[in-house]
Protein backbone atom coordinates (compact mmCIF):
# COMPACT_ATOMS: atom_id res chain seq x y z
CA UNK A 1 0.00 0.00 0.00
CA UNK A 2 2.82 2.39 0.90
CA UNK A 3 4.61 1.74 -2.39
CA UNK A 4 1.38 2.22 -4.35
CA UNK A 5 0.61 5.54 -2.62
CA UNK A 6 4.18 6.75 -3.08
CA UNK A 7 4.12 5.88 -6.78
CA UNK A 8 0.83 7.70 -7.29
CA UNK A 9 2.18 10.79 -5.57
CA UNK A 10 5.46 10.55 -7.42
CA UNK A 11 3.71 10.20 -10.78
CA UNK A 12 1.65 13.32 -10.17
CA UNK A 13 4.51 15.49 -8.86
CA UNK A 14 7.93 13.80 -9.27
CA UNK A 15 10.09 16.85 -8.51
CA UNK A 16 8.13 17.67 -5.37
CA UNK A 17 8.32 14.07 -4.15
CA UNK A 18 12.05 13.88 -4.76
CA UNK A 19 12.49 17.11 -2.80
CA UNK A 20 10.56 15.62 0.10
CA UNK A 21 12.38 12.29 -0.12
CA UNK A 22 15.86 13.79 0.02
CA UNK A 23 14.95 15.66 3.22
CA UNK A 24 13.95 12.41 4.93
CA UNK A 25 16.49 10.87 7.31
CA UNK A 26 15.52 7.31 6.39
CA UNK A 27 16.94 7.45 2.86
CA UNK A 28 20.34 8.71 4.06
CA UNK A 29 20.39 6.17 6.85
CA UNK A 30 19.80 3.53 4.18
CA UNK A 31 22.72 4.83 2.12
CA UNK A 32 25.10 4.79 5.08
CA UNK A 33 23.81 1.39 6.15
CA UNK A 34 24.33 -0.11 2.69
CA UNK A 35 27.94 1.12 2.59
CA UNK A 36 28.53 -0.19 6.11
CA UNK A 37 27.16 -3.57 5.05
CA UNK A 38 29.72 -3.72 2.23
CA UNK A 39 32.56 -2.85 4.62
CA UNK A 40 31.52 -5.43 7.20
CA UNK A 41 31.04 -8.06 4.49
CA UNK A 42 34.58 -7.48 3.25
CA UNK A 43 36.04 -7.71 6.75
CA UNK A 44 34.05 -10.51 8.34
CA UNK A 45 33.21 -12.70 5.34
CA UNK A 46 36.10 -12.31 2.91
CA UNK A 47 38.97 -11.38 5.22
CA UNK A 48 38.12 -13.41 8.33
CA UNK A 49 35.92 -16.29 7.14
CA UNK A 50 37.52 -16.93 3.73
CA UNK A 51 40.99 -15.77 4.84
CA UNK A 52 41.37 -13.53 1.77
CA UNK A 53 43.92 -10.83 2.51
CA UNK A 54 43.01 -7.38 1.13
CA UNK A 55 45.13 -5.91 -1.64
CA UNK A 56 46.03 -2.27 -2.20
CA UNK A 57 42.99 -1.59 -4.36
CA UNK A 58 40.78 -3.46 -1.88
CA UNK A 59 41.71 -1.10 0.96
CA UNK A 60 41.15 1.88 -1.35
CA UNK A 61 37.66 0.54 -2.08
CA UNK A 62 37.06 0.16 1.66
CA UNK A 63 38.15 3.76 2.10
CA UNK A 64 35.62 4.94 -0.47
CA UNK A 65 32.87 2.98 1.27
CA UNK A 66 33.85 4.56 4.59
CA UNK A 67 33.52 7.95 2.89
CA UNK A 68 29.97 7.05 1.84
CA UNK A 69 29.15 6.16 5.44
CA UNK A 70 30.61 9.46 6.67
CA UNK A 71 28.69 11.35 3.96
CA UNK A 72 25.44 9.77 5.12
CA UNK A 73 26.20 10.64 8.76
CA UNK A 74 26.94 14.26 7.83
CA UNK A 75 23.57 14.57 6.09
CA UNK A 76 21.81 12.75 8.94
CA UNK A 77 22.79 15.56 11.32
CA UNK A 78 20.15 17.68 9.61
CA UNK A 79 18.84 16.61 6.18
CA UNK A 80 17.24 20.03 5.68
CA UNK A 81 20.48 21.94 6.18
CA UNK A 82 21.76 22.85 2.72
CA UNK A 83 25.39 23.29 3.81
CA UNK A 84 25.50 19.83 5.39
CA UNK A 85 23.67 18.40 2.40
CA UNK A 86 26.20 19.96 0.01
CA UNK A 87 29.17 18.62 1.97
CA UNK A 88 27.61 15.18 2.30
CA UNK A 89 26.67 14.91 -1.37
CA UNK A 90 30.08 16.16 -2.47
CA UNK A 91 31.81 13.50 -0.38
CA UNK A 92 29.35 10.80 -1.47
CA UNK A 93 29.78 11.51 -5.17
CA UNK A 94 33.56 11.61 -4.82
CA UNK A 95 33.55 8.27 -2.99
CA UNK A 96 31.18 6.57 -5.43
CA UNK A 97 32.98 7.71 -8.60
CA UNK A 98 36.43 7.03 -7.18
CA UNK A 99 35.33 3.69 -5.76
CA UNK A 100 33.92 2.64 -9.14
CA UNK A 101 37.22 3.57 -10.82
CA UNK A 102 39.25 1.56 -8.29
CA UNK A 103 36.89 -1.39 -8.76
CA UNK A 104 37.25 -1.17 -12.53
CA UNK A 105 41.04 -1.15 -12.21
CA UNK A 106 40.88 -4.18 -9.92
CA UNK A 107 38.63 -5.97 -12.41
CA UNK A 108 41.16 -5.45 -15.22
CA UNK A 109 44.01 -6.77 -13.07
CA UNK A 110 41.92 -9.76 -11.99
CA UNK A 111 41.00 -10.60 -15.57
CA UNK A 112 44.63 -10.31 -16.65
CA UNK A 113 45.83 -12.48 -13.77
CA UNK A 114 43.29 -15.21 -14.59
CA UNK A 115 43.65 -15.08 -18.36
CA UNK A 116 44.16 -18.44 -20.06
CA UNK A 117 47.20 -18.08 -22.27
CA UNK A 118 48.18 -20.38 -25.12
CA UNK A 119 51.26 -20.32 -27.31
CA UNK A 120 49.55 -18.31 -30.03
CA UNK A 121 48.42 -15.50 -27.70
CA UNK A 122 50.36 -12.33 -26.98
CA UNK A 123 49.58 -12.09 -23.27
CA UNK A 124 50.57 -8.46 -22.80
CA UNK A 125 48.68 -7.31 -25.88
CA UNK A 126 45.58 -9.19 -24.76
CA UNK A 127 45.73 -8.10 -21.13
CA UNK A 128 46.41 -4.47 -21.93
CA UNK A 129 47.60 -2.04 -19.26
CA UNK A 130 46.42 -4.32 -16.46
CA UNK A 131 49.05 -6.92 -17.32
CA UNK A 132 51.79 -4.65 -16.05
CA UNK A 133 49.91 -3.43 -12.99
CA UNK A 134 51.14 -4.36 -9.55
CA UNK A 135 49.96 -3.74 -6.01
CA UNK A 136 51.97 -1.84 -3.46
CA UNK A 137 52.27 -2.76 0.20
CA UNK A 138 52.45 0.94 1.04
CA UNK A 139 49.06 2.45 0.19
CA UNK A 140 48.67 6.16 -0.44
CA UNK A 141 45.29 7.38 0.70
CA UNK A 142 43.84 10.79 -0.23
CA UNK A 143 45.10 13.67 1.91
CA UNK A 144 47.99 11.38 2.92
CA UNK A 145 45.85 9.85 5.64
CA UNK A 146 47.85 7.08 7.36
CA UNK A 147 44.85 4.78 7.66
CA UNK A 148 47.03 1.69 7.35
CA UNK A 149 48.84 2.85 10.51
CA UNK A 150 45.73 3.86 12.40
CA UNK A 151 43.67 0.79 11.47
CA UNK A 152 46.07 -1.80 10.05
CA UNK A 153 43.61 -4.69 10.15
CA UNK A 154 41.17 -2.84 7.88
CA UNK A 155 43.53 -0.78 5.71
CA UNK A 156 46.89 -2.57 5.57
CA UNK A 157 47.26 -4.33 2.17
CA UNK A 158 48.60 -7.82 2.79
CA UNK A 159 47.38 -9.49 -0.42
CA UNK A 160 48.03 -9.16 -4.12
CA UNK A 161 45.65 -7.53 -6.59
CA UNK A 162 43.73 -10.01 -8.73
CA UNK A 163 44.87 -13.09 -6.83
CA UNK A 164 41.47 -14.06 -5.46
CA UNK A 165 39.54 -16.95 -6.99
CA UNK A 166 36.17 -16.11 -5.41
CA UNK A 167 33.22 -15.76 -7.75
CA UNK A 168 29.45 -15.83 -7.63
CA UNK A 169 27.26 -16.26 -10.70
CA UNK A 170 30.30 -15.75 -12.88
CA UNK A 171 31.33 -12.41 -11.31
CA UNK A 172 34.18 -11.67 -8.91
CA UNK A 173 34.47 -9.12 -6.11
CA UNK A 174 35.50 -6.31 -8.44
CA UNK A 175 32.41 -6.87 -10.61
CA UNK A 176 30.13 -6.78 -7.58
CA UNK A 177 31.81 -3.64 -6.27
CA UNK A 178 31.24 -1.95 -9.63
CA UNK A 179 27.62 -3.07 -9.51
CA UNK A 180 27.21 -1.71 -5.97
CA UNK A 181 28.65 1.68 -6.95
CA UNK A 182 26.38 1.77 -10.00
CA UNK A 183 23.37 1.22 -7.72
CA UNK A 184 24.62 4.02 -5.46
CA UNK A 185 24.85 6.31 -8.50
CA UNK A 186 21.36 5.43 -9.73
CA UNK A 187 19.87 6.08 -6.30
CA UNK A 188 21.89 9.19 -5.48
CA UNK A 189 21.25 10.98 -8.80
CA UNK A 190 17.50 11.61 -8.25
CA UNK A 191 18.13 12.52 -4.61
CA UNK A 192 20.71 15.07 -5.71
CA UNK A 193 18.25 16.42 -8.27
CA UNK A 194 15.59 16.64 -5.57
CA UNK A 195 17.95 18.60 -3.33
CA UNK A 196 18.83 21.01 -6.15
CA UNK A 197 15.12 21.54 -6.78
CA UNK A 198 14.53 22.20 -3.08
CA UNK A 199 17.51 24.57 -3.01
CA UNK A 200 16.19 26.47 -6.01
CA UNK A 201 12.71 26.68 -4.48
CA UNK A 202 14.05 28.04 -1.18
CA UNK A 203 16.14 30.67 -2.98
CA UNK A 204 13.11 31.82 -5.02
CA UNK A 205 10.84 32.15 -2.00
CA UNK A 206 13.32 34.33 -0.10
Write the burial class of residue 65 (CB in 10 Å: 0-12 exposed, 13-18 middle, 19+ buried): buried
User: What are the two backbone dihedrals, phi and then psi, of residue 157, each rounded to the nearest 5 degrees?
Assistant: -75, 115
With contact defined as beta carbons under 8 Å apart, do 111 and 130 qualify?
yes
Distance from C-alpha of 179 to C-alpha of 34, rounded to nearest angstrom: 13
pTM of the shown model: 0.82
Give me the phi and psi of 117, to 5 degrees please. Answer: -110, 130
Check if the beta carbon of residue 173 is closer than 8 Å to that of residue 198. no
* pLDDT by residue, tens only, the chain of 206 residues: 445 555 555 555 567 777 777 888 899 999 999 999 999 999 999 889 988 888 889 999 999 999 999 999 999 999 888 899 999 999 999 999 999 999 998 888 877 766 644 445 444 444 444 444 457 778 888 888 888 889 988 888 888 777 777 778 888 888 999 999 999 999 999 999 888 887 777 665 55
Amino acid sequence: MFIKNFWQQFSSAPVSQLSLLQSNRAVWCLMAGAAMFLILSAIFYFQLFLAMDPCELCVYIRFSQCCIVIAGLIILIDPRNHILKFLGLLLAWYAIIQGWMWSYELMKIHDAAHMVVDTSMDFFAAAGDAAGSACSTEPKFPLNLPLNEWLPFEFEPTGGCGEDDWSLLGMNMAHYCMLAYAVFMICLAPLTFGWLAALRKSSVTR
